[in-house]
Amino acid sequence: MLPDYRVRQRDFLLEISRAMTAQLDLSEVLRLVLNASVVMLAGQVGLIALREPDEQYRIRATLGIDSDRLPKLNHQLDELLAAGSDHPDSEFLNIKLSQMAVSIDRRLRQSLFLPLVIAGEPVGLLIVFRAFWLEATENDLQILQSFADQAAIAVHNAQLYTRIDYERRRLAAILEYSADGVMTLDPNLVIQGFNRALERMTAWPSQDAIGRTHDEIITWKRLEKGDLRSALAHGWPFEVGEDAAADILYVEGDLLRRDGLTLSVGITYAPLLGADGRLLNIIANVRDITNFRQAQEMQNVFISTVSHELKTPVALIKGYAGTLRRDDASWDPQVIRDGLQVIEEEADRLTELIENLLAASKLRAERMELELEDVQLDQLAAEVLERFRTQSEKHQFALSFPPEFPVVRGDRARLRQVLDNLVSNAIKYSPDGGLIEIGGTTDEGVVSVYVRDQGVGIPEHEQERIFERFYRVNDSLSRRTKGTGLGLYLAKTIIEAHGGRIRVRSKPGQGAMFYFTLPLP
């Protein structure tokens, strides 16, 4: 029969082992292990060092040790394990442990070293210091080794849980703050997860959405591609056919939000299967494709417009050239001059269109380079109006600059391109004629130049977008008027490259005034 203290020791060991293995918080496990070790070994001081990913050991828990001693103890621990072995020879070990004991408290007489190992892999080490010397019996060593094994398991489990919990929280943060909407569904399409981006897209708060069915939240005003319910009815995700990527289902259309607005979205549904092949969850990734669709629509309009803009001058050039070179006709010199003038004007239109396309393409790839010089904007405006006077008999043209209008530093050719574009637009969008005026003002270190017409005007909701690439106001006049939607984009880029800004003021039926500001030297 075991002596009473042996029974108590065994019961204590079992109690502590159960407490350690039931605990998953690493800090708490280390505290339990260290306190139990010091009690079992009748020690006064103890520490636990864990093996880090870089294979170095660092002290993670202490009892009876001031925190300011930890740097020195970590250094001594490095020396103890400097040979690269987790089981250094006893003489070397005793010397280093004695040095550590002295650095903690000179009254400490004995150091007990317990490696924490699981499945042959070192997890850490436990050191207990006490103020007396006592030779451990074989039975003591067996009990201590059993305790060390249990402690290693507890520490290992706590480390695994810590890593898993970190990954879980990291993944939850990624999903929660993703720019795309993320929704988790159970096999019955009941919503279990709903992130912030999806709240913004659907106008459904997550607390209202979770627990509802997929179809209550994802309602389509117009479905263009794919359908989750239909796919499930046809065996998705288990019957995917010959398409290797068919286990991923893509659905696209116009989503009807909770507030009645619509949003163009594309949803990718991915199944999560268990080890037995059962469907556990469906993960839905929801992406707002409104801008993509607008860009695609703008691109289609641009291609159509450019095709038309290229065909018209080419057809005129070809037609007049073919007419003038006919062998069976003798043309009057005036007819020949008129025909050649048309050919020249249409060639100029082609050149301008191509230059605008090249300029827009270049601006997307690199910053605009300016050739700066002194520019007299009132004189430049007069030159521009003089050229346009010969192109329109319906319009009157006027200049309105104060005397001695200041000189600015700028790229003369680029600034002329801006004025050419603004005056050309003023002519196009005032088909009934009227006054077109270029004027300027100065104010607190900047000059302002405006181009005003008496045309059809621009709706307020269109004014923010008219400076975008390829964008054209959506009305009947724009559809009849030539243009690629590049002129104002180039004008904006040129003015901003000069450190200025360009804006518009307009009301439908009351004309428009485009104006830009440039800094004075």
Query: Model confidence over 333-372: pLDDT tens digits?
Result: 888 888 888 888 778 778 777 776 666 666 554 566 788 9
Instruction: Identify whether the C-beta of residue 498 lies closer than 8 Å to the C-beta of residue 370.
Output: yes
CATH architecture of 4-173: 2-Layer Sandwich (3.30)
DSSP 8-state secondary structure symbol assigned to residue 368: P
Name the pLDDT band for 83 (thresholds 50, 70, 90). low
Distance CA 448, CA 442 (A): 6
Distance CA 213, CA 71 (A): 57
- pLDDT on residue 473: 63
Range(s) for CATH 3.30.450.40 in the chain?
A: 4-173
Of the candidates 118, 160, 147, the one whose C-alpha atom is nearest the C-alpha of residue 25 is 160
Is residue 391 within a helix (H) or strand (E), and if so which, with residue range?
none
Instruction: Identify whether the C-beta of residue 514 lies closer than 8 Å to the C-beta of residue 400.
Output: no
- What tens digit of pLDDT does each residue of 8-40 get? 666 666 666 676 666 778 888 888 888 888 888
> CA separation (Å) from 193 to 47, 100, 342, 506?
43, 52, 67, 47
- pLDDT on residue 115: 87
Distance CA 106, CA 95 (A): 14
Distance CA 506, CA 352 (A): 27
Distance CA 325, CA 336 (A): 10
Q: What is the mean pLDDT of residues 391-404?
A: 88
- pLDDT on residue 500: 93
Range(s) for CATH 1.10.287.130 in the chain?
A: 295-365
Strand-pair partners of 193? 184
Of the candidates 416, 401, 411, the one whose C-alpha atom is nearest the C-alpha of residue 447 is 401
51 or 81, which is more confident: 51
What is the residue whose two structure tokens read 């075991």?
2
Distance CA 69, CA 26 (A): 22
137 or 484, which is more confident: 137
Distance CA 490, CA 466 (A): 11
Distance CA 33, CA 155 (A): 9
**CATH fold for domain 181-288:** Beta-Lactamase (3.30.450)
479 has pLDDT over 50:
no
Question: What strands lie across the sheet with 262-273, from one edge to the other?
Answer: 191-194, 181-185, 279-288, 262-273, 249-256, 219-225
- What tens digit of pLDDT does each residue of 225-276 get? 899 988 988 888 887 554 444 578 999 999 999 999 999 999 999 999 888 8
Is residue 128 within a helix (H) or strand (E), and if so which, with residue range?
strand 121-130
Range(s) for CATH 3.30.565.10 in the chain?
A: 373-519
Is residue 323 within a helix (H) or strand (E), and if so which, with residue range?
helix 290-324
> CA separation (Å) from 135 to 140, 146, 208, 209?
10, 18, 67, 67
- What tens digit of pLDDT does each residue of 173-191 get? 887 888 899 999 999 999 9
In angstroms, how far is CA 71 from the centroid of its own chain? 42
Distance CA 256, CA 220 (A): 5
Angle between the N-to-C axes of helices 70-80 and 90-104, in degrees from 0 to 180, rounded to the nearest 10? 170
Q: What is the mean pLDDT of residues 200-221?
A: 94
Task: Please name the residues in contact with 423: beta carbons below 8 A apart, sequence gap of 6 or more.
Answer: 384, 385, 388, 436, 438, 451
- CATH class name, domain 295-365: mainly alpha
Q: What is the mean pLDDT of residues 457-483?
A: 68
Task: Please name the residues in contact with 433: beta carbons below 8 A apart, sequence gap of 6 or more.
Answer: 392, 394, 395, 396
391 has pLDDT over 80:
no
Instruction: Identify whether the C-beta of residue 46 lies closer than 8 Å to the C-beta of residue 31.
Output: no
Instruction: Identify whether the C-beta of residue 504 lies closer than 8 Å to the C-beta of residue 514.
Output: yes
Instruction: Identify whether the C-beta of residue 268 lies closer than 8 Å to the C-beta of residue 181.
Output: no
State the CB neighbour count (10 A cutoff) for residue 461.
7
Distance CA 248, CA 228 (A): 11
Range(s) for CATH 3.30.450.20 in the chain?
A: 181-288
Does the domain formed by 373-519 have CATH 3.30.565.10?
Answer: yes
> How large is the C-alpha radius of gyration of the chain?
41
pTM for the whole structure: 0.48
